[in-house]
Chain A
Amino acid sequence: MIYLDNAATTPMSEEVVGCVDEAMRDLFANSGTPYKIGLDAKGLIGKSAESIARNLKIPSTHRIIFTSGGTESNNLFIKGLCFPDKKTAFLGLEHPSITECLAYFSQFANEPLSLLPFQREGRLDLTSIDNLKENRIKLLCLSHVNNELGTVNDPLKIISALAKKSPQTKLFLDGVQVIGKLKVDPEMWNGLAGYSVSGHKIHGPKGIGLLVYDSKLDLNPQMHGGKQQFGVRSGTLPLPLIVGLETAIKHAVAQTEQTQNHLQSLCCYLTHGLQAMQDQIPELDIRFNSLVDVGVTRQSPGIVNFSFSPVEGEIILHHLEAKNIFVGLGSACSAKSKKPSKILMGIGLSEEQARCSLRISFSKNNTIEEIDQFLEAFGDAYQSLYPTFSQKAGHQ
């Protein structure tokens, strides 16, 4: 199997499986109970949180909340801080757990400010920050790395622009595509109000994630109950998943530099391979939606997104699947017309270009040989499907 959809999820590493398995067997006690085994569980969770803080270099000004994953972290922070009437802004290219969360605010006559006219290369153009002050925006929500494009919003640049031009606006970043793939400058924490992390994107377990936020902020809990985790997120803590997340973060951080270099070489190999393929297949016209041959401050090397009209991405996906190669899709083909990716449309692609696209996303486990096999299978599938789709385009 060749798995090239690591932005969707990643396989759990052996170390993580081992420690989750052990904790599930042995450490069943409720960490909220006052007897020995409960206190032991509580102690382990505390140690995991400390280890996570150490590895991610989270300063003591910030608090760590364990959540069920990225979606919950984004919802908890945005709703917890701003619902129902605080003004928010976003770029319009974020994951649905941000865009839909903000769309919910609209139902309460609090329309979030979209900065989509200010997107450039899938990132926020810093000149747009003047608008935040004018509109008295309390919170700006962005992806650190865009989940479909891999484009990077540089936290330090945004933080310093905000400090200068709109100091009352706080910054929240969705970081689920970052940890272990890009080096993070710990300076960013000083200017960050909130940040989300997901376990399963970094070879950890599903069902666990983090919200890291400035502890001076008051978040209204979205989950009420036994007042665990400072009352911000009630619910018995899932110790095995927390231990798994800690292990995943530890390994991801320790290998970040190595992984980043590896992903860069895969990314470079793939983009050049696709470019070269256009010479061999005259009817193939690749348009890269992610940035090519730029530094990691602008583009994550973990994601390559490209379009190839007129062949639909989803059909290519199923043809690759038949060869046991799994890739990602931002949009979907359906006679019952699912809308194509809002992110691709948002950066100016036509509906056809958006439908005719794939997202390839790497992990440290992928190899150059796998990219070769992907390229060969992609070329074959494209050539076999091209007549059908060019005919369809002709009909229309």
Chain B
Amino acid sequence: MTERRTVLIRYDEIGLKGRNRKYFEKCLLKNIKRALSDSDDIHYTSPRGRIFLNIPSSFEPECSIRLKAIPGVASFSIGVSMNTDLDAIAALGVQWIEPKLESLETLKFCVKTRRSEKSFPKTSPEVNFEVGSRIMTALSPRGLTVNIKEAEYVFEIEIGRTETVVFDKREPGLCGLPVGSSGNVLCLLSGGIDSPVSAFMMACRGCRVHFVFFDNQPFLGRGGYDKVLRLAKKVNHFQTRGTLYVVPFEAMQGSIRDHCNEENRIVLYRRMMYRIAEDIANRHGSIALITGESLGQVASQTLENLAAVSCVTSLSVFRPLIGMNKESIITRAKEIGTYEVSIEPQPDCCSVFMPKNPVTRSKIRFLERDEEKIPWEELRHNALAQMEVIKVDDLP
């Protein structure tokens, strides 16, 4: 029984980077170390193109769960480190494959070798052949056959400079880029299905995503707030160190409702949200806004209305879901575990604030005329002054 395991972590896109590659690698290693920081019995090495962890075998299941939630990890394998002794490697192969044959009549298998240590005297195909034939000698009477194209079981050997790792499974990672490598962004989080998915997608592009929620507790109660806290926590799980800003929005919403054209309300609310989000982003160092908008999904998400909203901010506004249909967004939300929270029944806007017929093609000059009727600079200032700032890592 081996008491230590070696985890071999592969990353894809970073490998394509030129001179910045070191920066991305460092970033990924830092994120992995942070995700596993509660265990002090892990040794890290990072030869070119790979990250290796040496962990106690008892930590294997937990380690696997955590690595699957780290953007930038393309895939990983958990195996055993050993000397590059082909007899010993083949013996381990027999030990791993034998139990599988107990319940099967036949099993198609192959050996795959990768050499990063080119000074090893045998080529990869030679190692495949030698190890494979030794395993076959032992197990072909039990039904084991070699089939490189349709292998049901792949025995892999990675011969490195310092150690050789043997494993038989590849676990998929989230791929993408390590969080922190692309900078901070601020996501407008609503409590619905879409915005958590777009936040997650940006985290997978290397962004650290912070969140802003526009709340209206006097009219909607605390249900929406509680829900957004849980959603932020779920997305933050993939990145850590996100901040959630909760902005009381009832005064702004009330003022727009009481003084502006009814049909423009929703676009006006969103213009104010973008302005306040820009203030927060500038104060706290986010360089773009993220939303969950998808073209044409609701009345406020037409091309004209998106343009009428985007133009109030000089920040870049990214909408990762813009071309996705609802079904694909829902599938993604289920994968990342936010769907079940998002669908809890909780109104995101009280009916007194909703217009009967919201405008679908708003005209910016009419919106600006409406905005002249309300003291929005003052309301924006007050909302920011009352804003609650929550470190998402600290949420229970």
Interface residue stretch chosen among B319-327, B345-353, B362-370: B345-353
Are B262's CB and A395's CB within 8 A?
Answer: yes
Known contacts A388-B258, A389-B352; A318 and B347 CB within 8 A of each other:
no
Question: Is there a chain A Cβ closer than 8 Å to B18's Cβ?
Answer: no
- Known interface pairs A321-B221, A322-B218, A388-B254. Does A315 touch B352 (Cβ–Cβ under 8 Å)? yes
Residues of chain A with a CB closer than 8 A to B349's CB:
335
Q: Is the CB of B351 within 8 A of A337?
A: yes
Residues of B within 8 A of A333 (CB): 347, 350-351
Chain A: minimal CB distance from B351 (Å): 5
State which residues 304-356 of B face A: CB under 8 Å. 345, 347-354, 356
Write out, one digit per residue, whether chain A residues 297-330 have a CB within 8 A of any chain B CB (1) or not (0): 0000000000000001011011101100000000
Q: Are B217 and A335 in contact (CB under 8 A)?
A: no
Q: How far is the CB of A152 from chain B (nearest CB, A)?
A: 31
B residues in contact with A389, CB < 8 Å = 352
A332 to B223, CA, bound (A): 13
Asked whether A391 lies within 8 Å of B221 as measured between CB atoms, the reply is no
Is the pair B257, A388 in contact by a Cβ cutoff of 8 Å? yes
Q: Is B345 a contact of A318 with CB atoms below 8 Å?
A: no
Residues of the A chain whose Cβ atoms lie less than 8 Å from the Cβ of B347: 332-336
B352 near A312: Cβ-Cβ < 8 Å = yes
- Interface flags, B101-123, vs A, CB<8A=1, else 0: 00000000000000000000000
- Report the Cα distance A314→B348, complex, angstroms: 14
B94 within 8 Å of A by Cβ?
no
Closest to A384 in B: B218
- Using A338-B345, A388-B254, A388-B257 as known contacts, say yes or no to A317 and B221 having CB atoms under 8 A apart: yes
B42 within 8 A of A: no
Distance of A319 Cα from B219 Cα, bound (Å): 7
Q: Number of residues in A with C-beta < 8 Å to the partner? A: 21
A315 touching B217 in the complex, CB below 8 Å, given contacts A388-B257, A395-B356: no
Q: How far is the CA of A32 from the CA of B254 in the complex (A)?
A: 61
The answer on a CB contact under 8 Å between A319 and B258 is no
> Using Cβ atoms and an 8 Å threshold, which residues of chain A touch B262?
395
Among residues of A, the one whose C-beta sits closest to the C-beta of B220 is A318
Interface check A127, CB cutoff 8 A: no
Chain A's closest residue to B346 (CB) is A334
A396 within 8 A of B: yes
Taking CB atoms and an 8 Å cut-off, the chain A residues in 111-132 that contact chain B are none
How long is the Cα–Cα vector from A312 to B348 in the complex, in angstroms? 16
Q: Which residue of A lies closest to B347 (CB)?
A: A334
Which A-chain residue is minimally distant from B254 (CB atoms)?
Answer: A388
Closest CB in chain B relative to A295 CB, distance in Å: 36
Question: Does A392 reach chain B (CB closer than 8 Å)?
Answer: yes
State A335–B257 Cα separation when bound (angstroms). 15
Q: Kindly list chain A residues whose C-beta atoms are within 8 Å of the C-beta of B217.
A: 318, 322
Is B345 within 8 A of A335, CB to CB? Answer: no
- Alpha-carbon distance A336/B347, docked complex (angstroms): 7
Contact for A315 among B219, B257, B345, B356, CB less than 8 A:
B219
> Which residue of chain A has its CB nearest to the CB of B355?
A395
B350 and A335 form a contact (CB under 8 A) = yes
Across the interface, which residues of A come within 8 angstroms of B220, CB to CB?
A: 318
Chain A residues near B219 (CB-CB < 8 A) = 315, 318
What are 25 A-B contacts with C-beta separation under 8 Å? Answer: A312-B352, A314-B221, A315-B218, A315-B350, A318-B218, A318-B219, A318-B220, A319-B218, A321-B221, A321-B222, A332-B347, A333-B347, A334-B347, A335-B347, A335-B348, A335-B351, A336-B347, A336-B348, A338-B345, A388-B257, A388-B258, A391-B258, A392-B352, A395-B262, A396-B356
Known: A335-B350, A335-B351, A336-B345. 19 other contacts (CB 8 A): A312-B352, A314-B350, A315-B218, A315-B350, A315-B352, A317-B221, A318-B221, A334-B345, A334-B350, A334-B351, A335-B347, A335-B349, A335-B353, A336-B347, A336-B348, A388-B352, A389-B352, A391-B258, A395-B262
